[in-house]
Amino acid sequence: MFDFLGIPPQALFGQLLLGLINGSFYALLSLGLAVIFGMLNIINFTHGAQYMMGAFGAYFLLQYLGIGYWWALLIAPIVVAITGIVIERTMLRWLYKLDHLYGLLLTFGLALVIQGMFRHQYGTSGIPYPIPDALQGGHRLTFMFLPNYRAWVIVFSVAVCLATWILIERTRLGSYLRAATENPALVRSFGINVPRMITLTYGAGVGLAALAGVLAAPIYQVNPLMGADLIVVVFAVVVIGGMGSILGSIITGFALGVIEGLTKVFYPEASNTVIFVIMALVLLIKPSGLFGRAASQTSAVEHGGASAAGDGGRSALLFLGVLALFFIISPFFIYPLFLMKAMCFALFACAVNLLVGYSGLLSFGHAMFLGSSAYVSAHAAKVWGFSPELAILTGTGASVVLGIITGALTIRRQGIYFAMTTLAFAQMIYFFALQAPFTGGEDGIQGVPRGFLFGLFDLHNQVTMYCFVFAIVFGTLLMMYRIIHSPFGEILKAIRENEPRAISLGYRTERYKLMAFVLSATIAGLAGATKAIVFQLASLTDVHWSMSGEAVLMTLVGGLGTVFGPVIGAFIIIAMQNYLAQFGQWVTVIQGFIFIVCVLAFRRGIMGEIANKIGKPL
């Protein structure tokens, strides 16, 4: 056979097969996500962990009970589905009437708990799982070798996806399910147990994830982190197809798998980002996805700021003074490097809080501003020889430019679509940082010189460095306090509470949200640039999507919509990470439990509860 554009047919069809395999898993996982979101209105971030549990379930059945692959295809998904039902009945049922944010954050916390426990027990090395004897070997075709097991995965996945689509779209049971999501009271009047139906629907969605895990075990091995990054790709697939669209998830799952596989042939460097590029383009053109329907956006996000007026400003200034006093005296009792790390993350958490707490916009991609600014400032200081203040300004300026570009492209999206669009741009930045020559790849930029501040003050001295960081953080907190209590801040709160009403009053809400987004990106960039100088390092950790999740956790713990809550939350989370580091992966488990507790019973956070008790905003 002739080569196509100089590419051997074996390589082309091999990558096409790999794309179909990946597409099979994308389709099954996104199908489960679409079922759960379409029927329950819950964005299930635990889906990746439940995919991993399906693979481990097959391994446990074989290792401890001697039950092979074929029975595992049935038993493992049922067992994992039962755990999902328990989660739905004990936790998720309390969140159905709240904003999507809370379901997303609760399931994110559950994912941390599950993955942390499995990682603590089994490490990160893959555990092999054998291909069943009946599917060993393959067939030699004229253009490629086709392994039997991979062909089986593709055929079986297509069959399951089509059966699920027919069940939901073409049967009476499916019509009941769809009706229960639209008008549960009417469905109950026909004697149908709607809560039970919803519970079983969640279990079925989870079971599909576990089934994909069993299918993946012989190909990718069994690993506690096998679903950690895959879930982000699957979210992109679901969003492209349209949240809640069954057919959209199936078609886009297979199509994107093929596109990703072919990209590895023609332009390998873009294979990791092509799905996120497609997601960003689709959402810019059709915000509800290719097969989705535009949905009205409701918001019931609880914020921690007290509604009482009066001398709330005086109370906040008093607390700011106490906070400043703490910063001043704490280096005498606490390791300064820890304090500087906590202060940098406090700035990052404040940036996220400005967006979600005061504008009602959840960004799951804010790590792109923290990380990109860190890389630029580190490069400016180490390679270009910039002084520390100029390096920080350069890094912050880069995050401002990035914020303007991404904000202009994403700000018209709302709810989960806004969160996923920011995540798409963040993933593009992550893979750029992984591949760009100046970033150092997985090693990052190390040995960043601290230099002399204004050519006078040696920042290698810990006391001088601490004073510099304190000045940046305290000055930014003062600026944020002034902004939040300005007319601009009041307009942001009005948009968060009732955007249509703000529009009716003549405010151009998109302009205000864009300004808030850019300001938030600027503060996040300042935090990243400062952190790079303090720790003399910029790494992939700074730009990974999980860093955005940590910032949201800090904000939740401290108090959404409070001025100083994110500072308290950042200190608590960073202290926990440092002082509990000896417990290894249990730190991740504890973080997950904190997420869960905050979402279920402590949504105001620490400062929010204090503000609510005293009746004054903090």
In a domain, 245, yes or no: no
Residues 426-438, mean pLDDT to the nearest whole number: 87
Helix (H, G, I), strand (E, B) or coil at 81: helix
Say yes or no: 328 and 422 in one domain: yes
Say yes or no: 484 and 356 in one domain: yes
Comparing 294 with 298, the larger pLDDT belongs to: 294
- Residue 141: is its pLDDT beyond 80? no
What's the pLDDT tens digit per position in 154-196? Answer: 999 999 999 988 888 888 877 777 776 666 677 777 777 777 8
Q: How many domains does the chain have?
A: 2
In a domain, 605, yes or no: no
Beta-carbon neighbour count of residue 143 at 10 Å? 13
> Cα–Cα distance between 408 and 400 in angstroms, integer?
12
Say yes or no: 328 and 179 in one domain: no
Token output for 38: 């379409």
- Residue 346: is its pLDDT beyond 70? yes
What pLDDT shows up at residue 61?
95
In a domain, 7, yes or no: no
Of the candidates 240, 265, 292, which is a domain's last residue? 240
Q: Which domain holds residue 418?
A: 320-543
> Cα–Cα distance between 271 and 107 in angstroms, integer?
28
The mean-pLDDT minimum among 137-151, 160-174, 290-304 falls in 290-304
Say yes or no: 234 and 336 in one domain: no
In a domain, 281, yes or no: no
What's the pLDDT tens digit per position in 219-257? Answer: 988 999 888 878 888 888 888 888 778 888 888 988 888
Kindly report the average pLDDT of the chain as a whole number.
84
411 touches 508 (CB < 8 A): no
Token output for 233: 């790709």
- Residue 38: is its pLDDT beyond 90? no
Say yes or no: 206 and 342 in one domain: no
Say yes or no: 358 and 478 in one domain: yes
What's the pLDDT tens digit per position in 65-79? Answer: 999 999 999 999 999
Say yes or no: 236 and 117 in one domain: yes
Say yes or no: 232 and 353 in one domain: no
What pLDDT shows up at residue 281?
82
Say yes or no: 412 and 500 in one domain: yes
What's the pLDDT tens digit per position in 360-383? Answer: 888 888 999 999 999 999 999 999
What pLDDT shows up at residue 306?
46
What pLDDT shows up at residue 402?
94
Say yes or no: 104 and 216 in one domain: yes
User: What percent of the chain has a predicted confidence (pLDDT) above 70?
Assistant: 90
In a domain, 251, yes or no: no
Of the candidates 211, 240, 269, which is a domain's last residue? 240
3-state SS string over 542-585? HHCHHHHHHHHHHHHHHCCCCCCHHHHHHHHHHHHHHHCHHHCC
Say yes or no: 224 and 91 in one domain: yes
What's the pLDDT tens digit per position in 387-396? Answer: 999 999 999 9
In degrees and rounded to multiples of 5, residue 164 shows phi and psi of -65, -40
What's the pLDDT tens digit per position in 309-327? Answer: 334 556 667 777 888 888 8
Of the candidates 517, 543, 569, which is a domain's last residue? 543
In a domain, 557, yes or no: no
For Cα atoms 202, 168, 230, give the angle at the middle one, nearest 5 degrees: 50
What's the pLDDT tens digit per position in 475-486? Answer: 998 888 888 888
In a domain, 575, yes or no: no
In a domain, 344, yes or no: yes
Say yes or no: 224 and 342 in one domain: no
Enter the pTM of the model.
0.83
Is 605 exposed, middle or buried (CB count within 10 Å of its CB: 0-12, 13-18, 19+)?
A: buried
Which secondary structure element, helix H or strand E, spans residue 496, and what is its range? Answer: helix 487-497
Which secondary structure element, helix H or strand E, spans residue 324, and what is its range? Answer: helix 312-329
Residues 139-149, mean pLDDT to the nearest whole number: 76
